[in-house]
Amino acid sequence: MQPADGELLRVLADFLEWVPQPPGDLDRLVKNVAGLCSLLRDEVRVTLRNERAGDRETEFASLVHDWRRALFPRLNDDQFADAYAQTVTFALLLARVENIHFEDRTVEEIARLLGKSHSLMGKALDVLTPGWVLGRVATTIETLRRVIGTVHWDLLDDGTGSAYLTLYEQFLAVYDSELRKQTGSYFTPSAVVSFMVRFVDDVLRTRLGLRDGFAAPDLCVVDPAMGTGTFLVEIIDQVARTASVDGEVVRAKLRELAERLVGFEKQACPYAVAELRVAEAMRHHRTELPAEGMCLYVADALDAVDTDNLLDEFGEPLKRRLGSAYEPIERSKREADKIKSTRHVEVVIGNPPYLERAKGLGGWIERGSRSAQGVQPPPLDSFRADGEGKHQYKLSNMYIYFWRWGTWKAFDAHPKAPTGVVAFISAASYVAGKGFAGVREYLRSTADEGWIIDLSPEEHRPPVPTRLFPSVSQPLCIGIFARYNKPSPRTPATVHYLAVHGTQAGKFDRLQTIHLGDPSWKACSTVWRAPLKPPAEAGWASYPQWKIYSHCRVWVLRPIVPGSTTQIRPICVSAGSGSFGHPPRRRACFSRRRVIAPSTNGYRRSKNSTNRPHHSATRLGRAQSRSGWDFAASTGSGSSPMVA
């Protein structure tokens, strides 16, 4: 068959003989590659949709099935299409960064060579591109191979180590800026990371008695949402700085660190970049990587701890072994699971993703688990406070799931090793927001000491020049909570607060000077659920409101500032004949002084309440103990107000 004018032949010849130009800079590389990557994702989506529309499962769908079993049990088709395209693209880029030549090599050969230095990415490229898959998306993968094959990484890398980071940041913005929002992929400015690492290092030294801070032997450190590995790189540099001026001592310390510095990341692209950056940081200190690689895993940090023993909704084991074809991927998953389940982690640090209305995305943290060993309730329940029901939907936020994962891992999961530190830069809504009272209560009752560094004292929608991340409008803070000893749930943690004002550059500068003994720290309330702010700065709106129930009417009283003495003489409204909607009749219901008196820790607690709220109390007692404030109200004329 040949068209009369030979046009088809010319098009085919053009394609086959086309030699792509090497990109002259990162911008050009990103533009070329991100477009092809999103084309590949769309093709995989369409192929899967067509397969699903037919009445039998075909090859692409079985690839999804295997990928779920190997790595992400809850992956849907669209997420798979995205993972597929990102993994293939970044594996090929990784191969060029490692100087693997593409001429006359098939994707399969490239995957095998890549597997020698990056076993997981090499294997991922291999299993995702078997011959029959290539047939379906052959043109796009072949174009990617040819375009990426021209890359001379040495010419694009300026040697400062920022090229990998720029590559990924720019890639994400061009490839899918909406996905960037959904996955919370905002990369942490180095001023923030260096502050957090230095501060936690000080906490380890001065509060936990670990003289060498992050360099202390056996101290396990996890970034559960490592992105491109910024925190891990900073910790490597911190340990190198601490170790000594002697190169051999530094190398020995870093070799030891490599076995206890852990990162989880859900997406293949940032994972690949993290691998490169961490390897480069080790190389910079002339330290070879361990033969089995660093402890970096493509994993969902929030997923069930031990999927091997989990049952699906029909009671069948969720995961069966896939055999040697997937071995490096399965090994990585097994090791990640082992860290989640059995390894005692002392430090959890990072910048977790932010995503509101994330109900259903919190994995095991949100759902708990059913396994052959029994039912485990959702760890998120520890962040719930009774009486907060209508605001608790706000806990359905990715950053809260990560706070719960971090605190569970450092404080709850290993009772025999109770000490630890959790440090996150995250949204600040838990500091004073409604719906987060249970988070504050948990933090106060679980930790011994905490620090809140308020990065957005300008409050909601801070002006752009003051934002640390210009495109993130939520107020942010750094929260660091530490426990030094066995749990003492009846003693509230001492929490310190410090606000950082000014422009973005001013805030970065200020972070470099904040230290444990900084005179700007202010003491926060010790009331269990009160804002993690000094009482004077918490404001009216953030104090709990009191509701007084009288028959069927509810009165919401103005919040009461601790330390003040307030006289309340509410006029209670009864429902007259008792029917709803009947015009209310006014009558005095009660009249008594309500005294909130300061005590040594700021507020006097009700006599019969322990420090820790007791949940079996009456509604009135519960309200007293929850707030820790005295509430002295007596009923008037037979009416019995209840406080909830």
Ligand X SMILES: C[S@@+](CC[C@H](N)C(=O)[O-])C[C@H]1O[C@@H](n2cnc3c(N)ncnc32)[C@H](O)[C@@H]1O
> Quick one: which of 523, 525, 494, 496 has its CA closest to 605?
525
Residues between 39 and 78 that touch ligand X (CB under 6 A): none
By CB under 6 A, name the one of 293, 350, 435, 535 that touches ligand X.
350
Q: How far is CA 83 from CA 86, 102, 229, 230, 302, in A?
A: 5, 23, 19, 22, 18
By CB under 6 A, name the one of 184, 379, 492, 641 that touches ligand X.
184
- Which amino acid is residue 296, in one-letter code? L
Residue 187 touching ligand X (CB under 6 A): yes
Give the list of residues 6+ apart from residue 29 with CB closer than 8 angstroms, or none: 23, 151, 156, 167
CB-side neighbour CA atoms (13 Å) of 636:
15
Residues between 463 and 492 that touch ligand X (CB under 6 A): none
Report the nearest approach of ligand X to the CB of residue 500 (Å).
19
Residue 87 touching ligand X (CB under 6 A): no
Report the nearest approach of ligand X to the CB of residue 565 (Å).
46
Residues between 362 and 401 that touch ligand X (CB under 6 A): none
Report the nearest approach of ligand X to the CB of residue 71 (Å).
11
Residue 230 touching ligand X (CB under 6 A): yes
Beta carbon nearer to ligand X, 183 or 419:
183
Residue 266 touching ligand X (CB under 6 A): yes
Query: DSSP secondary-structure letter at 49?
Result: H
C-alpha 175/C-alpha 598 separation (Å) is 56
Instruction: Report residue 227 as tokens.
Output: 């992105």
Query: DSSP secondary-structure letter at 609?
Result: -
3-state secondary structure of 245: coil
Beta carbon nearer to ligand X, 100 or 302:
302
Report the nearest approach of ligand X to the CB of residue 10 (Å).
44
DSSP class per residue in 252-270: HHHHHHTTTEEEEESSHHH
Residue 337 touching ligand X (CB under 6 A): no
Instruction: Report residue 26 as tokens.
Output: 């990162």
Report the nearest approach of ligand X to the CB of residue 182 (Å).
9
Residue 426 touching ligand X (CB under 6 A): no
Residue 171 touching ligand X (CB under 6 A): no
By CB under 6 A, name the one of 38, 267, 397, 466 that touches ligand X.
267
By CB under 6 A, name the one of 300, 346, 441, 448 that touches ligand X.
300
Residue 185 touching ligand X (CB under 6 A): yes
Beta carbon nearer to ligand X, 157 or 212:
157
Q: Which stretch binds ligand X (CB under 6 A): 23-31, 214-222, 226-234, 594-602?
A: 226-234
> Quick one: which of 398, 420, 425 has its CA closest to 409?
420
Beta carbon nearer to ligand X, 23 or 224:
224
3-state secondary structure of 417: coil
530 within 8 A of 486, measured Cβ to Cβ? no
Residue 164 touching ligand X (CB under 6 A): no
DSSP class per residue in 64-107: HHHHHHHT-TT--HHHHHHHHHHHHHHHHHHHHHTT---TT--H
255 phi/psi in degrees, rounded to 5: -65, -40
C-alpha 550/C-alpha 448 separation (Å) is 40
Q: What is the dihedral of CA 635, 638, 643, 644, to 10 degrees?
A: 170
239 phi/psi in degrees, rounded to 5: -65, -40
Using CB under 6 A, count the residues that bind ligand X: 22
- Which amino acid is residue 121, in one-letter code? M
By CB under 6 A, name the one of 197, 215, 225, 498 that touches ligand X.
225
295 within 8 A of 261, measured Cβ to Cβ? yes
Residue 183 touching ligand X (CB under 6 A): yes
By CB under 6 A, name the one of 86, 140, 228, 574 that touches ligand X.
228
Residue 115 touching ligand X (CB under 6 A): no
Beta carbon nearer to ligand X, 353 or 636:
353
Give the list of residues 6+ apart from residue 156 with CB closer than 8 angstroms, or none: 23, 25, 26, 29, 163
Residue 330 touching ligand X (CB under 6 A): no
Q: Which stretch binds ligand X (CB under 6 A): 13-21, 101-109, 179-187, 279-287?
A: 179-187
Residue 231 touching ligand X (CB under 6 A): yes
Residues in the chain: 644
Residue 186 touching ligand X (CB under 6 A): yes
Residue 264 touching ligand X (CB under 6 A): yes
Instruction: Report residue 277 as tokens.
Output: 């950056």
Other CB atoms within 10 A of residue 582 CB: 12
By CB under 6 A, name the one of 353, 492, 531, 544 that touches ligand X.
353
Residue 227 touching ligand X (CB under 6 A): yes
By CB under 6 A, name the one of 265, 346, 388, 448 that touches ligand X.
265
By CB under 6 A, name the one of 32, 129, 140, 351 that touches ligand X.
351
Closest residue (Cβ) to ligand X?
Answer: 227
Between vectors from CA 441 to CA 186 and to CA 481, what angle results, nearest 5°? 50
Report the nearest approach of ligand X to the CB of residue 299 (Å).
6
Residue 301 touching ligand X (CB under 6 A): yes
Report the nearest approach of ligand X to the CB of residue 505 (Å).
19
422 phi/psi in degrees, rounded to 5: -120, 125
Report the nearest approach of ligand X to the CB of residue 427 (Å).
11
Beta carbon nearer to ligand X, 427 or 527:
427
3-state secondary structure of 111: helix
- Which amino acid is residue 223, in one-letter code? D
Q: Which stretch binds ligand X (CB under 6 A): 266-274, 287-295, 321-329, 432-440?
A: 266-274
* H or E segment and range at residue 9: helix 7-17
Residues of the shown chain interacting with ligand X in the complex, contacts defined by CB under 6 A = 183-188, 225, 227-228, 230-231, 264-267, 270, 300-302, 350-351, 353
